[in-house]
Amino acid sequence: MASGAADLDLSASDVVSPEAVRRRRLQLGAVGLAVVVIDQITKAWAISALDDSDIDGPLGSSLRLVYNTGSAFSFGSGFGPVFGVIAVGVALWLFRFVRDIENKWLVFGLGLIQGGAIGNVLDRLFREGDGFMRGAVIDFIEGADWWPVFNVADIAIVVGGFVVVLLGSRE
């Protein structure tokens, strides 16, 4: 037996069934799609309802329409294409990576991240802008004066990140 053959010796427990991979990818896709739909609906509402005015909420919060050409905290304005390509890469990588994950809550967290990334990429692709992926991301939720304005996709990315970190630290 060649020395490389030992590396290919997989036990039955190491092999992931095609059905399990399909189920995980469906779960990831369903969560991601739900995030994208909710994100885009709320952004469409924000554009129509907040175009001329803000809505004040409790504890200094408000709803205020912002066109963000950067990334989180409006950092990197003008680098939209870079952030967009990275987000697409992450979304595709998650689709591949999820095949080896057994924990359904971890798949849920990754689906939140994937959906949030895609939601913001759709803004970069289809909102007005000068060139490829130069559209502005629609942000409209302002938690406090000292915190940046964000959107549903951003919430999904942050919550998904917490789920992944929490579950990852337990294993």
d(Cα 57, Cα 144) in Å, to the nearest integer? 10
**Mean pLDDT: which of 42-51, 68-77, 143-152 is highest?**
42-51
- Residues 149, 50: contact at Cβ < 8 Å? no
Neighbours of 12 (CB within 10 A): 6
Catalytic entry in 7, 123, 145, 154: 154
Q: Is 157 exposed, middle or buried (0-12, 13-18, 19+ CB in 10 A)?
A: buried
Is 165 a member of any domain? yes
Is 108 a member of any domain? yes
Residues in the chain, total: 171
Is 12 a member of any domain? no
Is 11 a member of any domain? no
Whether 51 is catalytic:
no
CA atoms within 13 A on the CB side of 171: 11
d(Cα 71, Cα 78) in Å, to the nearest integer? 9
Report the domain count for the chain. 1
Is 13 a member of any domain? no
Which residue would you say has higher pLDDT here, 44 or 3? 44
Closest to 139 in 3D by CA, of 63, 27, 56, 25: 63
Whole domain around residue 75: which residue ranges?
18-170
Is 10 a member of any domain? no
Is 83 a member of any domain? yes
Looking at residue 142, its amino acid is E
Is 99 a member of any domain? yes
The pLDDT value recorded for residue 169 is 74
Whether 145 is catalytic:
no
86-135 pLDDT tens trace:
888 888 888 888 888 889 999 999 999 999 999 999 998 888 766 667 78
Catalytic entry in 7, 130, 139, 145: 139
